[in-house]
Structure 1
Amino acid sequence: MKTLRGRFRGVRILLGALLLPAVAIGLGVLIPRPIFVSSPVVADAAADSSASPAVRTVLMLSSAIHTDLALPASADLVERFGFMADDGLDPSQPGVDYIIAGWGGRSFYIETPTWSELKPGPVFKAMTVDRSVMHMGLGGTIDRNHPSVTTLELDEVSFDRLVQSVLASFAMAQDGQRKVVPDAQYGEYDLFYEADGLFNALAGCNVWTGAMLRQAGLKTGWWTPLPLLLTLSLELHNREQRFDYSPDAR
Structure 2
Amino acid sequence: MRTGIRWLLRIVLLLVFLAACGTFIPRPLIAPVEASSVAATHRILLLSGAIHTDIAIPLDEKTRATFSFLDNPDFPLGHPNAEWLIVGWGGRAFYLETPTWAELKPLPVLRALTIDRSVLHVDLAGHITEPQPAVAAFDVSDDQLARLINFISDSFVRDAGEIAPIPNAGYGEIDRFFEAKGYFNALVGCNTWTAAALRSAGLRTGLWNPLPQSLRLSLSVYN
Question: How far, CA to CA, are the matches of 1:19 and 1:157 in structure 2?
Answer: 41
Q: Which runs of 5+ in 2 are unaligned?
A: none
Equivalent residue, structure 1, for 2:18: 24
After superposition, the C-alpha distances for 1:195-247 in whole angstroms (9 at most, x for unaligned) are 00000121101000000011111111111000000000111122xxxxxxxxx
Asked if 2 retains the 8 angstrom alpha-carbon contact of 1:96 and 1:139, the reply is yes
TM, length-normalised to structure 2: 0.95
Asked if 2 retains the 8 angstrom alpha-carbon contact of 1:55 and 1:153, the reply is yes
The yes-or-no answer on 1:184 pairing with 2:188 is no
Q: 1:54 to 1:24 in 2, by over 3 A?
A: closer
The yes-or-no answer on 1:101 pairing with 2:87 is yes
Amino acid corresponding to residue 192 of structure 1 in structure 2: F
Q: 1:102 to 1:36 in 2, by over 3 A?
A: farther
Amino acid corresponding to residue 68 of structure 2 in structure 1: G
After superposition, the C-alpha distances for 1:39-97 in whole angstroms (9 at most, x for unaligned) are 4x54325xxxxxxx251000100000000001001110011111112372121112101
Question: How far, CA to CA, are the matches of 2:53 and 2:19 in structure 1?
Answer: 18
Q: 1:114 to 1:10 in 2, by over 3 A?
A: closer
- SS at the partner of 2:45? strand
Pair member with larger Rg: 1
Alpha-carbon RMSD: 1.7
Question: How far, CA to CA, are the matches of 2:109 and 2:73 in structure 1?
Answer: 29
Question: How far, CA to CA, are the matches of 1:20 and 1:228 in structure 2?
Answer: 18
Amino acid corresponding to residue 205 of structure 2 in structure 1: T
**Aligned pairs for 1:175-214 within 5 A:** 175-214=160-199
After superposition, the C-alpha distances for 1:159-188 in whole angstroms (9 at most, x for unaligned) are 110111010110111x21000011101112
Amino acid corresponding to residue 23 of structure 2 in structure 1: V
Question: How far, CA to CA, are the matches of 1:214 and 1:14 in structure 2?
Answer: 34
Amino acid corresponding to residue 83 of structure 1 in structure 2: F
Counterpart pick for 1:44 among 37, 41, 55: 37
TM, length-normalised to structure 1: 0.85
Amino acid corresponding to residue 129 of structure 2 in structure 1: D
- Percent same amino acid at aligned positions? 44
- SS at the partner of 1:83? helix
Equivalent residue, structure 2, for 1:232: 217
Asked if 1 retains the 8 angstrom alpha-carbon contact of 2:31 and 2:204, the reply is no
Counterpart pick for 2:124 among 138, 151, 154: 138
Amino acid corresponding to residue 28 of structure 1 in structure 2: G
